[in-house]
Structure 1
Amino acid sequence: MRLSIVAASVALLLAGCHSSQNTQSTLANAAAVSQTKAESDAQKVIELVERYFAESLVINPLSATFVGVMDYNDKFSAPISNESLAEVAAFERRYLAEAQAIDGSKLTGQDRLNYEIFVYARQQAVDGLAFPSHLIPFNQMWGVQNFYPMLGSGGSAQPFHTEQDYINFIKRTDGFAAYMDSAIAAMREGMQKGIVLPKSLIVKVLPQLQAHIVSQPQDSVFYGPVNLLADNAQLSEEQKARLKADYEHMIMQVIVPVYQRTYDFMLNEYLPAGRDSVGLAALPDGKAWYEHMIAVNTTLPLTAEEIHQYGLAEVARIRSEMDKVRETVGFKGNLAAFFEYLKTDPQFFFSSEQALIQAYEQVKADINRRLPALFEVFPKADYEVKAVEAYRAASSAGASYQQPAPDGSRPGIFYINTHDLKSQPRYLVETLSIHEAAPGHHFQIAIQQEVEALPDFRKYEFYTVFAEGWALYAESLGKELGLFTDPYMWYGRLSDEQLRAMRLVVDTGLHAKGWTREQAIAFMRDNSSMGDADIEAEVERYIAIPGQALSYKVGQRAIRQLREKLATRLGGRFDVRKFHTQVLIDGAMPMPVLEAKLLRWADSL
C-alpha cells in the first residue's frame, strides 16, 4: 500500500513537472508570438507614417520646399474646390483608419511615440473637417497673400540658383494665381453662408494686397531673384537676360493682376459683407468650432471658462509682481502711472533700427555663454537676427522665428519688427530673445529637425502648445541662467508673461463670452504697459486665429508641472539638463503624450 502511495505521489510529481514545463513552454511561445507581433506592428507604423509624409508633400508642395524636398518646387497647393477638399478629407480619414487598425498597446520607445502622435494628429485633422475654415482662407495674420511674397523674395526656402529654379517659380506662380482666384470664390460662398471675416480684419488685409500692386516690376518684392542674377556664376548672360524678361512678365502679367483682382474683391464686395461681430461663437456652429480650436491649440481637455479663470488669476498675480518692480526702482506714482512712464520715457526705446538689431545680437552672445548650465543638447544650426520686411511689417507680430533649412544651408531667423520702435522697448530684449531664439523656438524647432531617429512626419510636426509652451517656459529659465538682474529687464519678463496671461482672458472673452474688440483692448490697456497700437494688433490677432493665443501659458504651465512632478519623484537623481533633453529630443507632441513619455523615462532611471 505504501508502495502504491509512493508510486502515486511520484506520478503526481512527475505530472506536475511535466505540466510546469508545458506551461513555461506555452508562455515562452506566447511571449515570442507577442514580440513578433509587436515588431510587426512597429514596422507597420513606420511604413504608415513614411507613406503619409510622402503623400502629404504631394498635397502640400509648399511644405515640401520648406522641409528640403525640392521635387515639387514648381507646384502650388490645389485650388480650393469641392474636389480638393474631398481629396484631403479622404486622405486624412484613410490614414486614421489604417492607424487605428494597428494594435499600439504593445509598442515601446520611439515606436510607441510614433503611433500615439500619429493617431492623435490624424484624429484631430479628421475632427477639424467638420468646420468650414476654407471659407475664410486668409486674414491679416496668416495666408498666402503674405507667405508667397516671402517665398518669392529670393531670401527664403525657394532656391534661385539654376535656370530650372527660376523656371520652377514661374510655374509655381501660375498655381498661386489659380489658388487666389479660388480663394475669392470660397469667400463669396462664405458671404452667402454668413461665414466671413470681421470688418476690422478685412481693412488690415487690404494694404497687404495693395503693396504688391506695382507699376514697375523692379518695385515688387518678387523682383528679388532677378537682383540675384548679377552674382550668379552658374548662368550665362543670355540665360540671365531671358530669365529677367520672363520674371518681369510674370510680375506684371500674373502677380500684379491677381493681387489687383483680390484687392478689388476685398474692397468692393467682401468689406461691405464683413461682420461687425468678432468672436468665433457668432458664426454658425461657432461654439463647437471654438471648442475644437481650444483642443487643437492646447491638446488638453480644458473648457473656455477654466482657461478664462486661470487667466484672470495669473493677470492679478503678475500685476502684483510688477508693482514690486515699481517699488524696487523707486517710482513714486501708482502702477498705472508706472505703465505710462514705461510707455513714454525715451530712455526705454531705441533710436534706430540698427541699434535695435545690434542689441539683440549682443544679448544673443551673452545668452549663448550661459546655456550649458541648463542644457546638454544644442542645435547644430545657428540663427541670425533680421528686421521684418517692410511690406509685411505693419501687420506682423513684434517678433517671430523661422526655422533653419534642414540641410544646414540656411540658418534660423529671429525676426524683429522694427516698423514701430516704440513697440520694441529695451527692457524686452532679454526675454524676447530667449523666447524666439535660444533656448526657446530656435532650440525646440532646430533640434527637432536635426534628430536623425525621428521619422519625417515628427521632425516637422508642429503643436502650438508644445512650441509656444516651451518658448514661454524657456523665458522662465532666465533667472536660473543669471539674466534679469536689471529690475527693468525683470519687468520685461513680467510684461511678456502678462501678455500671455491676458491672452487667456481676452481670447476666451472674445470667442466664448461675447466680448467686443473694444472691451478686449480696454482690458489689456488696464493691465499692461503696452502701447495702444500694439494692443490693437494683438487683439486683432486673437480675433483672426482663435485659440492660438491660449497655447503659451497653458503649455508653459504643463511643462513646469511636469518638471516639478519629476523632481519630486526622482529627488536627488533629478537633473534639469537631462529633463530638458527629454522634453526636446523627441520633437513636438501633444501634452498628454509628453507626460506619458516623461513618466516612463523617470521610471526607467
Structure 2
Amino acid sequence: MKKTFLALALVTALAGCNNATQDTHANKEAQASKDAQVSAVASPQQQAQALFQSYFEESMALSPVYATFVGMNEYNDKFSAPISEESLAQSLALEQKYLDKINAIDESALTGQDLLSYQIFKRDRELEIKGYDFPSYLIPLNQMYGIHNMYATLGSGQSAQPFNTYLDYQNFISRTDGFSAYMDSVIVAMREGMEKGVVLPTPIVEKILPQLSVHVVKDAKDSVFYGPVTMLSDNSELSDEQKQQVTEQYQDMILNTLVPTYDKFYQFIETEYLPKARASVGLSELPDGKAWYEYQIETNTTLPLTAEELHEFGQQEVARILAEMNKVKAQVEFDGDLKAFFKFLQEDEQFYWDSEEEVVAAYMDIKDDINQRLPKLFEVFPKADYEVRAVEAFRAASSAGASYQSPAPDGSRPGIFYINTHNLKAQPNFILETLSIHEASPGHHFQITIQQEVKDLPMFRKFGGYTVFSEGWALYAESLGKELGLFSDPYQWYGRLSDEQLRAMRLVVDTGLHAFGWTREQAIDFMAQNSSLAMSDIEAEVERYISIPGQALAYKTGQRAIRDLRNQAQAELGEKFDVRKFHTQVLIDGALPMPILEKKIMAWVATQK
C-alpha cells in the first residue's frame, strides 16, 4: 500500500467523514474580515492566491488533526467535531462557498501556477461536493484506515503530535477528550448505518475487534499511549514536579478516558454491529452502490475510466507479467512450472529474513546505494531525509506490507518508511530493491518531500495529493530500477515483477469485488493463482480492497499515464529529450490530476521544441 502515504492517508480517514469544529463568534468575524480582504484586492491573481490560503486555513480549523500533521501546532489540543447533521452541513457549506468564490474569478486572466492552482482547486471542490451524495459517514472507519488506529499512532509519541513541552502534554490530554466524544458519535453514525443497510462486511468487522481490544488495558504502562510518559526521563524542558504531574495525568487519561472509550466501542462492535454486518463485500451491494463505486473510480484515478476498462487492462497486465516471471524462472534454471516456482519462492529459507532488526537494517543499507545512483535520472532532490521503522505491533496484523509517512514541514521530523515485520514470510528479501524504490527514493519520500519543499505553492497543493499521482509515481519509479543499474540479480528483478503483478491484480480484484460480484474467496484464489505472495499477505490485500473501494486502481493507471507522457515527450523531442528535465517537470509542481498533468507536460514539450 497507502497507498496512499501514511500521515495523510491515516488522517484522510478522519477528514473523509466530513466533520467540522464549531465556529465561534470570533472565528466567524475573523473569516468575514478575511473574505472582505479577498474581495478588496485588485487583480484576479491576488484574489485567487488569497482565496486558496483562506480555504486552507478554514479547512484546517475543521480538521485539526490534519493541521497537526502539516505543522500547524495551534490546533494540537483540538479534535474534529462529532459526526452530526450540523457538522456534515458545515463541511458541505465550506466546499460550496469556495466553489462559488472560485467561479467568480476570471480564469482567462490567470497564467502559470495561478492558472494551474485555479484548475485544480475548482475540480477538487466540484468532486468533493459530488461525494456528499454518498453516505460515507455511516461507515467512518475500517481495519485499514480508522481513527481508532490513527489516534493510537498519534498518541504513541512516534508521530506528528509533539511531546516536548509541558503544554504539548496538556494539549494531547485536551485532544483526547475530543477523541472520546468523536468515538461516541461514530457509534451513533454506525447505528444509523445499520438501520439503512450501509454496514461493513463481516470479515472487515472481525479485523477491527483486536485493534480495539489491545487498548483495553488494566495497567496504564501497558498502553501505547504511555509512550510519551517514558520519554519524560530524557526531557530537560519539564521540571521534576511537572514530570510527576504529567505522569499522573496520563495514567488518569489512559485508564479513565481512553480505556473506557475503546472498551465501549469494542462492546458496540462485538455485540451490536458484528451481528448486523453484511455477508456481501462489494460496494455495489449497498444502496446506490454502482454510482458510489463509479465515484470512487473517478476520485482515485482522476480519469474517465469504467470498471470494465480497468478490469480488462488488469487482466492483460497480469498475463504479460506472468510471461516475464517465466523468463526469470528459466534464467535461474528452476526445474518445474510457474506454480512450483511460486511455491519455491514462498518456502525456501534463502529468501526470508531472520528477524525484524535484520529487515530494518537491510533497508537502511540499500538506501545509501540507491541515493548515489539518482543523479543519473534526476536533477532535483528532497532536502529532508527519511528513516526506516517497523510497523507498530498494535496495528501490524491488518496493515499493508509497507507505507510511508511524510516528514515534518519544518524539518523537525524525517520521513518514515514503515516496513511491516508482523509476518516475515510476507517480506521476502527479493523485494528489497523495488520496495525501497517505491516507498522511499525515488518513490514516495522523493515525490512527497519535494512537493512539501517547493516554494510558493499554495498550501492546499503543498499538503494535498492524489492517489493516482503519488502511487502512480511510486510505481513508475520502480520501473526506473534497471536504468539506475539495479535489478542485476534475477531474484531482485523477480521482486520488481512481483510488485508490479500485485498492482496489476488489484485492477482485476478491485473491480471484480465492487462491480462484478466477486466474493472474498474468489478474489483470494485469483491472487494465489497469479503470484507468489504469502497467503497472509493476500488475505490482508483483499480485505484492504474490500474496505477502500477504488484506491487500489490508482497505481497502474497512474504509472501508465506517466509512462505514456514520457514516451510521447521522447517521441516528439527526439535527441532534445532529457529524462532528468522530464522528471523535474513531473515533480516540481506537486501532485496533479492526470488530465492536468498531461496538459502541463505537453505545454513543456512545446517549449522544448
TM-score scaled by length of structure 2: 0.93
Determine which of 48, 55, 69 is the counterpart of 1:52. 55
How much does 1:39 deviate? 7.9
Q: Name the residue aligned to 1:31.
A: none
Q: Per-residue CA shift, 1:465-508, capped at 9, x if unaligned?
A: 00000000000000000000000000000000000000000000
Distance, in Å, in 1 between the alignment partners of 2:294 and 2:220 is 45
Please give the secondary structure, in 2, of the residue aligned with 1:414: strand
User: Which one of the candidate residues 555, 560, 563 is aligned to 1:557?
Assistant: 560
In the alignment, structure 1 residue 86 sits paired with structure 2 residue 89: yes
1:306 positional shift: 0.2
Counterpart CA distance in 2 for 1:567 and 1:106 is: 32
Measure, in 2, the Cα distance between the counterparts of 1:578 and 1:143.
39
Amino acid at match of 2:558: G
Distance 1:244 1:296 in 2: 44
Q: CA deviation at 1:105?
A: 2.7
* Amino acid aligned to 1:70: N
Letter in 1 for 2:172: F
Counterpart of 1:127 in structure 2 is: 130
Q: Is 1:435 equivalent to 2:446 in the alignment?
A: no
In the alignment, structure 1 residue 111 sits paired with structure 2 residue 83: no
Equivalences for residues 120-519 of structure 1 within 5 A: 120-519=123-522
CA shift in 2, pair 1:556/1:39, >3 Å: farther
Pairwise CA RMSD? 1.1
Listed as ranges, the gaps of 5+ residues in structure 1 are: 1-37
SS at match of 2:77: coil
User: One-letter code of the match for 1:420?
Assistant: N
How far 1:107 sits from its partner (Å)?
Answer: 1.7
Rounded Cα–Cα distance in structure 2 between residues aligned with 1:485 and 1:159? 43
Report the 3-state secondary structure (helix = DSSP H, G, I; strand = E; otherwise coil) of the residue aligned with 1:213. coil
Q: Which has the larger radius of gyration?
A: 1
3-state SS, counterpart of residue 142 of structure 2: coil
Question: 2:212 is aligned with what amino acid?
Answer: L
Cα deviations by residue, 1:243-281 (Å, 9 ceiling, x for unpaired): 110110000000000000000000000000000000000
Q: Deviations over 1:504-530 (max 9, x none)?
A: 000000000000000000100000001
Q: How far, CA to CA, are the matches of 1:426 and 1:236 in structure 2?
A: 47
Question: 1:348 offset after TM fit, Å?
Answer: 0.5
Q: Is 1:576 aligned to residue 602 of structure 2?
A: no
* Residue 67 (structure 1) aligned with residue 42 (structure 2): no
1:521 lines up with 2:524 in the alignment: yes
Letter of the aligned partner of 1:348 in structure 2? F
Secondary structure (helix, strand or coil) at the match of 2:176 reads: helix
Residue type of the partner of 1:304?
A: A
Q: 1:519 and 1:466 mapped to 2: Cα distance?
A: 29
Cα deviation, 1:225-250, whole Å, max 9, x if unaligned, reads: 11111111111111111111011000
Q: Would the alpha carbon gap of residues 307 and 39 (structure 1) be closer, same or farther in structure 2, given more than 3 Å must change?
A: farther
> Matched residue of 1:252: which SS?
helix
Distance (whole Å) between structure 2 residues aligned to residue 143 and residue 536 of structure 1: 19
Amino acid at match of 2:524: I
Structure 2 Cα separation of the partners of residues 62 and 570 of structure 1: 46
Task: For residue 106 of structure 1, report the CA deviation from its aligned partner.
Answer: 3.5
Per-residue deviation, 1:103: 2.0
SS at 1:577's partner residue? helix
AA aligned to 2:171 is N
Q: Distance in 1 between matches of 2:418 and 2:529?
A: 28
Identity %: 65
Q: Secondary structure at the match of 2:107?
A: coil
- For residue 465 of structure 1, what is the amino acid of its counterpart? V
> Structure 1 residue 97: deviation in Å?
1.3
CA distance, structure 1, for counterparts of residue 109 and residue 290 of structure 2: 38
Structure 2 residue matching 1:400: 3-state secondary structure: strand
What CA distance in whole angstroms lies between the structure 1 residues aligned with 2:167 and 2:89? Answer: 33
- Per the alignment, do residues 179 and 328 of structure 1 end up closer, same or farther by CA in structure 2, a change over 3 Å counting? same
* Counterpart Cα distance in 2 of 1:560 and 1:469: 9
Give the letter for the 1:448 counterpart. Answer: Q
| 2:596 aligned with 1:593 | yes
2:117 is paired with a residue of what secondary structure?
helix
What's the secondary structure of 1:290's corresponding residue?
A: helix
Aligned partner of residue 243 in structure 1, secondary structure: helix
Cα distance in structure 2, aligned partners of 1:105 and 1:199: 52
The alpha-carbon deviation at position 414 of structure 1 amounts to: 0.3
The 1:111/1:338 distance shift into structure 2, 3 A limit, reads same
Shift of 1:569: 1.3
Structure 2 residue runs of 5 or longer lacking an equivalent are: 1-40
3-state SS in 2 of match to 1:479: coil
| C-alpha separation in 1, matches of 2:280 and 2:237 | 55
Instruction: Quote the Cα distance in structure 2 between the aligned partners of 1:39 and 1:299.
Output: 33
Distance in 2 of aligned mates of 1:455 and 1:65: 18
The 3-state SS of whatever aligns with 2:404 is: strand
AA in 1 matched with 2:89: A
* Partner residue, 1:25: none
Q: Supply the distance in 2 between the matched residues of 1:106 and 1:582 (Cα, whole angstroms).
A: 23
CA distance in 2, matches of 1:487, 1:107: 51
- The answer to whether residue 550 in structure 2 is matched with residue 547 in structure 1 is yes
Task: Please list the CA deviations of residues 35-59 of structure 1 after superposition, one character each: whole Å capped at 9, or x if unmatched.
Answer: xxx9821211101101000101100
Quote the offset at 1:101 in angstroms: 1.8
* DSSP 3-state at the match of 1:105: helix
Give the CA deviation at 1:120. 1.1
Secondary structure of 2:541's partner? helix
Find the partner of 1:604 among 597, 604, 607: 607
Q: Matches of 1:360 and 1:306 in 2, distance apart? A: 37
**Deviation larger for 408-417 or 594-603:** 594-603
What SS class does the counterpart of residue 401 from structure 1 fall into? strand
- Secondary structure in 2 matching 1:569: helix
Q: Give the deviation of 1:550 after TM superposition.
A: 0.2
Q: Which amino acid aligns with 1:152?
A: G
